[in-house]
Amino acid sequence: MIRVAILGATGYTARELLELLLRHPEVEVTALGTRQEDGPHLAEVHPALRSRLDLRLENLTPAEVAQRADCVFGCLPHGASAEVISDLLDNECRVIDFSADYRLNDPQVYQAWYQVEHPDPERMGKTVYGLPELYREQIRGAQLVANPGCYPTAAILGLAPLLKARVIDPQGIVIDAKSGITGAGRSPKPNLHFPECNENLTPYNIGKHRHTPEIDQILSTWANVETNVIFTPHLIPMDRGELITAYADVKAGTTGEQLLETLQGFYQDEPFVRVVDHLPGTKDVAHTNFCDVTARVVGSKAVIVSVIDNLIKGASGAAVQNFNVIYDFPETMGLL
Amino acid sequence: MIRVAILGATGYTARELLELLLRHPEVEVTALGTRQEDGPHLAEVHPALRSRLDLRLENLTPAEVAQRADCVFGCLPHGASAEVISDLLDNECRVIDFSADYRLNDPQVYQAWYQVEHPDPERMGKTVYGLPELYREQIRGAQLVANPGCYPTAAILGLAPLLKARVIDPQGIVIDAKSGITGAGRSPKPNLHFPECNENLTPYNIGKHRHTPEIDQILSTWANVETNVIFTPHLIPMDRGELITAYADVKAGTTGEQLLETLQGFYQDEPFVRVVDHLPGTKDVAHTNFCDVTARVVGSKAVIVSVIDNLIKGASGAAVQNFNVIYDFPETMGLL
Amino acid sequence: MIRVAILGATGYTARELLELLLRHPEVEVTALGTRQEDGPHLAEVHPALRSRLDLRLENLTPAEVAQRADCVFGCLPHGASAEVISDLLDNECRVIDFSADYRLNDPQVYQAWYQVEHPDPERMGKTVYGLPELYREQIRGAQLVANPGCYPTAAILGLAPLLKARVIDPQGIVIDAKSGITGAGRSPKPNLHFPECNENLTPYNIGKHRHTPEIDQILSTWANVETNVIFTPHLIPMDRGELITAYADVKAGTTGEQLLETLQGFYQDEPFVRVVDHLPGTKDVAHTNFCDVTARVVGSKAVIVSVIDNLIKGASGAAVQNFNVIYDFPETMGLL
Amino acid sequence: MIRVAILGATGYTARELLELLLRHPEVEVTALGTRQEDGPHLAEVHPALRSRLDLRLENLTPAEVAQRADCVFGCLPHGASAEVISDLLDNECRVIDFSADYRLNDPQVYQAWYQVEHPDPERMGKTVYGLPELYREQIRGAQLVANPGCYPTAAILGLAPLLKARVIDPQGIVIDAKSGITGAGRSPKPNLHFPECNENLTPYNIGKHRHTPEIDQILSTWANVETNVIFTPHLIPMDRGELITAYADVKAGTTGEQLLETLQGFYQDEPFVRVVDHLPGTKDVAHTNFCDVTARVVGSKAVIVSVIDNLIKGASGAAVQNFNVIYDFPETMGLL
C-alpha cells in the first residue's frame, strides 16, 4: 500500500485524480494540501466526493507531507511547484509533478515562455517526461516524473511515430488543437463565465501557448529531428475532451493506410492508445485514459487526429499510469 | 426621435437593449453610462456590437445624462439605481428602471429582502409596475416605470388572469422556476464558471429569492386576493430562457380547457402573449419579446407553464415595450 | 465469478452497465443480446468501449442466453421484456429487468398506462421492486428483480421516509422533475435532435408520464398511505442527471431541520444516499451511484430536492447494486 | 414591395430567413413551399414564428409559385433545387438559390462531388456566386444568384484578399473548419442526436466535404491563382456559428500587421466584414450577418481566423444581402 499525498487539491485535476486513486487497490490517500489557510473538508471543496474520503485539506510544509506520504502528486502552479518539489525530493518522497516545471530541458526556454526564473534549474533536463508510450523504461523507479501537458500528450502521441518513421516532414507542422473548458482550470475568469463560452468557439494564444516548446522539445529529441510546430488552441463549449488535428507534408507516395500501419505497429502493445480507422470524437475517450488516434492523406498532407480526455490521459490518468510504472504495478491498475 | 441613455451599459441586459434600440426607428442612443473610470469603447465591452454604434462608455453625473437624453434606461444594481434615478427625475428625464428599487410598494418589505434602506421611499407605491399587460394605462406618459423582474414576468403572466377569474386558489401556489445562466448576470462567480454550471442543474435560494415579494405584491394587488407563493428557482445550463411551472389548487370542476379559455380571453389582443395548447419550450421565445403560456388540470391541481426570454420579455424587450407605451409609439415597434 | 449477459445491449443504459460490470471483480460478461440481425461488434456499437471487451452482439434465444449466463440484465423495451424474461426464468437464470414490466402490481394499471396487455400477469405483484433502500431483504437471493425507473428512484428516495414518518401530507404532492436527455434513450427523434433540445427547456407528458403510477404504488404500499402525485417532467439540455423538486404540505410545526433529521435517521447506514444540508446539483452525483437529498420548509410546504445520475442510480448502477444484494457481494462492489 | 416565396420552408435556414424577411420593409412573404402533402401551418412547423405570419405551407408547382411571387428563395436540396429553379426562371421569377446547384462551373466536378447528374448544366458557369464582397456588380439585377455555402463564405472572406495581394502561397492551404450543429440541417440522424454530439467534438468528411471544390473554384478564379485546399470540418456542440482557422505559407518577410492591413484595405467599405485585431469568437457574430476576420504570422505560416453565423452570413442573411443588391435596396436593409 503506497501512502499518497495530493498538493493543490482544490482543482479539477486533483478531483479527477482522487476519483482514480480511491479506486486504486494499492493506494491510500493520506494528505491533501492547499495553500488556503482555512482547511476545508474535501466534501466542501469537491461535493461529488462527499462520503468517499474523510480528510480535510491542510496547508502543509514539505516536511509534513513527506512524513505522511511515500508519493506526492503535485497539482501546483508552475514556479510554486518546483519550489516545493525540491524540498520533497530532499525528504525522499517520490513526486509526480503536474506542473510544467520539469518538462523543459532548458532554463532559458522556460524563462522565455513562463516569465519566471526557474527555482531549481539543475534538475531540468535530468527529469523524465512522463509519457510511458515514449519513455517507459526511464519512468520505472524514477523519483521525479514530469507529467505531460494535455495538448502535448495528444499531439505527441499522434505525431511522434510518424516523425520517427520519417513519413512526414518535421518542418511546417500545424497543430490545430481544440479543448473543453476544464483545461483552463477552476478559477472563475470573465472569458470562462458560462454565458461567455457557452455556445461560443474561440481561438486563443495563437503562436504563444506555453505547450509549444514542450511539443517541439519532445518531438525533436525523441524522433531526432527538428520541429517548429505552429500550435493553435481553441476553446470548445464542453467540459472535457481534447482533439488535435495535425497537418504535415507527407512523404511522397505515402498513403493513409501506411500512416495507419505505422501507428498501429508502434502502439500495438500499448494499453491506452487505440489506433482507429474511423474519425474519433472526444466522447469516445471521455472519462477514460485512452488516446484514440487516426490518420489520413489529403492531397500533399498527412492529417492526423488524436483525442484524449484532458483531465485523464491529459493529466490525472497519465499520472496514475506513471505511478503504476514507477512502482511496477500493472500499468492499467485503477484505470480501467 | 427620442434621445436615449443607458446607465450600467456593461451587462447583458444593456447589450440586449442596445440591439433592440439600434433597430428602433424613433430612438437615438446618445449616452452610455458606467461607473468604471477608464471609459472603454462600446466595441470593447460588447464585441458583438462593433461597428454598430460609435460611442464610449462614460462615468456621467445624472445632470450630464439629463442634458444628453430624454429617456434613460437604468441597468444599475438595486440601491445604486434609486439614488441616481431620483436625480434624473428632478432633471426631468423619463426613466425606465431595470432594478428592483421601485417595484415594491413597502419600504419595510424592500429592506427585509434587499438588506438596505431604500434611498427614495416616498416614490415607492407611486411608481407604475411596467407590465403593460396589466398596467398599460398607468404606463402611458409615465415619468418613471419600474421594469419587472424576469421571474415575476413569467409567473404573473401565467397566474394573474386565473387568479382574477377565481378559478385557482390563491393559497399554496407553488412556482417552480428554471432559468438560463444570463439571468445571473455578467460577473464571473465560482458557481457560474463554465465547468461548474455546464451539464449541471441546481436549485438555489429556495424560499429566499428576492422576486418572491414582487410576485406576491403584484398578484395580490392586481387580482385582489392574498397570495403567498412558494418560489423555487433553478439554474439551467443554457444561455437564456426562463420557464415557470406553477401549481395551484384548481376550483372544483374546472377543466384544462376552461383554464386555456380564460387565458385566451384575457390575452386575445395582446401582441406579446401567445396562449398555446401545446407545451411550450424556452426556445420558442428565445430572442423574442413573446411570452408563451399554457395550462392543464392534473388531479386537483392547475399546472401552468409560461416561457420567456429572460433578457428580452424578462428585461430589455419589456423595457422597449414600456418605452413604446410611454411615448405612444406602436407597442411592437423595434420588437418584431 | 458470475457469468452475465446483457440483453438490448445497444442503448445508453447497456453501455453504462458494461462500464460498471467491466470493473466488477466478480463478473464475467459472456453474452450481449440484440434484436438486430447483423451482429455488430461491441466496439462498433459503443466506440468508447473499444478494446475493453471482445464480444459481438448476437440475436440470441432465451435458451441460448441461459446456457451462457447465470444472471441476465434485461435492457429491453416494456412488453418485449416480459416475454423474454419468463423464458429466462424457466431456464433458471436470474434476471434484473430494466423495463417497467414487473414494477407494477396490477395488470389493469399496467395496461392503462402502457397500452399493451401484460404478457406475464401472474408474476406481477410477486416481483420485488429493486430499490435496496426500501426492499433490501426481499432482494437478497431473488430470482427476478424489477429495476426501478429513474424518476421514481429520485422521487421515492426523497419522499418515502417523510411519508412514513407522517411529517408530510400524502395528498396533493407535486413532483417537478427535470432530466438530462439520455433519459429519453438513444433513438434519434425530432425533439431530441441536437439543435432542438440544446439551449432549450421543455416540459413534456404533464400528468401522463408512465412513471406516475410507479411512484404512487411504491410510496403508497411502502409508507402505507394513499398518494396521488402530480408528476411533471422536463427535458434539460445536458447529457445526464436528474433532479426532482417535490412539494408537499408539511405537518404543522415541523421545521426544515426536522425533515433533514428524519432523512438522516433513515439513510444513516445507506452507502449510496447522502443527506446534505446544502442544495445539491446533478453534477454532484454525475457518473456515480449516489443520490443526494435535502429538504426545506417554505411557508406551508416541505420542499424536497433529490438528485441522481439517471444512467447510474437511475438505471445501471442500481442494477449492479441489486446484483450485489442478490448474490450477497459487498453492496458497493464495482460502484465506488 | 417585393412579393417573396420560400421553397423548402421547414428547415432552419428557412426559419431564419423568415425572421429576417418579416423585418424587411420592402418584402411581403406570399408563399411557403414544401414537398410534404399535408400543408401544415407555419406556426406548427416553426413554433417560434407563431403569430408572426398567417400562412400554411403548400406543395406548389413552379407556375403557382411564379404567380404569387416576384422573387423566390430556394431552400431545397441539391438536385431537386435546379429542377424547380429552371422552371421558375422560365416563369420570370428571380431566384436566390441556397443549394449548391449553381455554385460550381463544371458539370463534371458537380457530378463527381454530388453523385448526381446536373439537371440544368447550361446555366452552370453563367450564374453569379452570391458573395457581394467579391461579386457585387454581377449580382445587381441578376435573375439567378447562387447563394454561397457556409464554410466557403467564411473561408473565402478570410483568404481571398490575401491571395489576390500575393502575400500567401496558394499551394498547401489548410482550412481547419468548425461548425455548430444547425449546419447539418434539421433531419434527425444518429450522430446529431443530442447525447451523441453534446459534450463531443468530432471531425467529419476529412478531404471529402462538398464545399472543397466550391472554395477552390472561387479562390482560384477570383484571385487568379490555383489553389487545392485541404479542408477539414469539425462538429462543435453548439447551435450556430462557424469558425475557420486557415494556414498558408506566408510570403517571406510579411508580418501579421501587413496581413491585417491588406484585409482592412480590402474590406474598409464593406458593411458586413469587420477586420479585427483580437481573436474573434463565433458568439461575436451570432444572430448577425457579420463576418469577423483576423490574421497572424506564426513562424512560416499565416494563420487566418474568420467567424460567421452559419445560418445568417452563411445562409439566410447572405441571401437577404443578395436580395438587397439585386433590387438595389440599401445593402443592410433588414439586416441590422
pLDDT of residue D38: 86
> First vs last Cα of chain B: how many Å apart?
19
Three-class SS state of A305: strand
Mean pLDDT, all residues of chain C: 97
Alpha-carbon span A87 to C294, nearest angstrom = 44
The amino acid at D252: A
pLDDT in tens, chain A (336 residues): 999 999 999 999 999 999 999 999 999 999 999 988 889 999 999 999 999 999 999 999 999 999 999 999 999 999 999 999 999 999 999 999 999 999 999 999 999 999 999 999 999 999 999 999 999 999 999 999 999 999 999 999 999 999 999 999 999 999 999 999 999 999 999 999 999 999 999 999 999 999 999 999 999 999 999 999 999 999 999 999 999 999 999 999 999 999 999 999 999 999 999 999 999 999 999 999 999 999 999 999 999 999 999 999 999 999 999 999 999 999 999 999
pLDDT in tens, D141-192: 999 999 999 999 999 999 999 999 999 999 999 999 999 999 999 999 999 9
Percent of chain D with pLDDT over 70: 100
Query: For testing the chain D interface, which of A169, A171, A175, A202 should be mutated: the one with the most D CBs within 10 Å?
Result: A202
pLDDT of residue C199: 98
Three-class SS state of A145: strand
**Chain C environment of B245 (Cβ under 8 Å):** 176, 203, 232, 234
Alpha-carbon span A171 to C314, nearest angstrom = 52
Alpha-carbon span B170 to B244, nearest angstrom = 17
Closest C-alpha among D307, D309, D285, D310 to residue D294? D307
Residues A193, B186: C-beta atoms closer than 8 Å: yes
pLDDT at D36 over 90: no
State how far the alpha carbon of C40 is from the alpha carbons of C9, C33, D154, D299, in Å: 11, 11, 40, 47
- Contact C305/B at CB under 8 A: yes
pLDDT of residue A38: 86
Looking from the CA of C78 toward its CB, the CA atoms found within 13 Å total 19
Residues A190, B188: C-beta atoms closer than 8 Å: yes
Alpha-carbon span D157 to D148, nearest angstrom = 11
Annotation marks residue D71 as catalytic: no
pLDDT greater at residue B36 or residue B121: B121
- Contact A186/C at CB under 8 A: no
A-contacting chains (≥3 CB pairs under 8 Å): B, C, D
| Lowest-pLDDT range of A37-41, C295-299, D81-85, D113-117 | A37-41
- Contact A243/D at CB under 8 A: yes
Residues D47, B278: C-beta atoms closer than 8 Å: yes
Q: Centre a 10 Å sphere on the Cβ of residue B25 and count the other Cβ atoms it contains.
A: 9
pLDDT of residue B38: 86
| Residues 6 or more apart whose Cβ sits within 8 Å of residue C223 | C160, C163, C164, C170
Nearest to D193 among C188, C237, C238 (CB): C188
Q: Where are the beta strands (DSSP E) in chain A?
A: 2-7, 27-33, 71-74, 94-97, 128-129, 144-146, 174-179, 202-203, 230-235, 242-249, 273-275, 291-298, 301-308
pLDDT of residue A299: 95
How near does any CA of chain D get to the CA of A210, in Å?
14
pLDDT in tens, B258-269: 999 999 999 999
- Contact C268/A at CB under 8 A: no
- Contact C287/A at CB under 8 A: yes
Do C262 and C162 touch, CB atoms closer than 8 A? yes
pLDDT of residue A248: 98
**Chain C environment of A282 (Cβ under 8 Å):** none
pLDDT of residue C214: 98
Task: Specify the residue for cell string 429513474.
Answer: C150
Alpha-carbon span B321 to B147, nearest angstrom = 10
Do D65 and D89 touch, CB atoms closer than 8 A? no
Q: Where are the beta strands (DSSP E) in D161-309?
A: 174-179, 202-203, 230-235, 242-249, 273-275, 291-298, 301-308
How near does any CA of chain B get to the CA of D56, in Å?
18
State how far the alpha carbon of D65 is from the alpha carbons of D20, D70, D87, in Å: 20, 9, 10
Closest C-alpha among A73, A62, A60 to residue A27? A73
Alpha-carbon span A324 to A329, nearest angstrom = 5
**Chain D environment of B22 (Cβ under 8 Å):** 336
- Contact B286/D at CB under 8 A: yes
Residues D203, A279: C-beta atoms closer than 8 Å: yes
- Contact B239/A at CB under 8 A: yes
Give exposure, C269-278, as e/b (b: 16+ Cβ within 10 Å).
ebbbbbbbee
Sheet holding B291-298, edge to edge: B202-203, B230-235, B174-179, B242-249, B301-308, B291-298, B273-275
Q: Centre a 10 Å sphere on the Cβ of residue D330 and count the other Cβ atoms it contains.
A: 11
| Residues 6 or more apart whose Cβ sits within 8 Å of residue D324 | D330, D331, D332, D333, D334, D335
pLDDT in tens, C232-285: 999 999 999 999 999 999 999 999 999 999 999 999 999 999 999 999 999 999
| Residues 6 or more apart whose Cβ sits within 8 Å of residue B285 | B241, B291, B292, B307, B308, B309, B312, B313, D48
The amino acid at A82: A
Alpha-carbon span C163 to C267, nearest angstrom = 14
pLDDT of residue D69: 98
**Chain C environment of D237 (Cβ under 8 Å):** 194, 198
Query: For testing the chain D interface, which of B51, B197, B287, B288 should be mutated: the one with the most D CBs within 10 Å?
Result: B51
Catalytic residue among A71, A75, A93, A150: A150
pLDDT grade, residue B37 (50/70/90)? confident
State how far the alpha carbon of B118 is from the alpha carbons of B8, B92, B102, C167, D55, in Å: 20, 21, 9, 40, 51
Nearest to C197 among D187, D190, D194 (CB): D194
pLDDT at C36 over 90: no
| Residues 6 or more apart whose Cβ sits within 8 Å of residue B16 | B311, B312, B315, B316, B317
Taking phi over 0 as left and psi of -120 to 50 as alpha, with beta for the rest, C8 belongs to left
Alpha-carbon span A309 to C48, nearest angstrom = 12
pLDDT in tens, B244-257: 999 999 999 999 99
Find the mean pLDDT for residues C304-321: 98
Residues B284, D50: C-beta atoms closer than 8 Å: yes
Residues B12, A193: C-beta atoms closer than 8 Å: no
* Cα angle C173-C175-C181, degrees, rounded to a multiple of 5: 170
pLDDT of residue C88: 97
Domains of chain B, start order = 2-126 (3.40.50.720), 150-309 (3.30.360.10)
Nearest to C198 among D187, D190, D198 (CB): D198
State how far the alpha carbon of C305 is from the alpha carbons of A44, C149, C316, D78, in Å: 19, 17, 22, 51
Cell numbers of C309, please? 445520475
pLDDT in tens, D209-258: 999 999 999 999 999 999 999 999 999 999 999 999 999 999 999 999 99
Nearest to C48 among A23, A278, A284 (CB): A284
pLDDT grade, residue C328 (50/70/90)? very high
Alpha-carbon span A91 to C180, nearest angstrom = 49
- Contact B227/C at CB under 8 A: no
Closest C-alpha among C98, C53, C102 to residue C73? C98
- Contact D237/A at CB under 8 A: yes
Alpha-carbon span C241 to D195, nearest angstrom = 12
Query: For testing the chain C interface, which of B151, B173, B176 should be mutated: the one with the most C CBs within 10 Å?
Result: B176
pLDDT grade, residue B36 (50/70/90)? confident
Percent of chain B with pLDDT over 70: 100
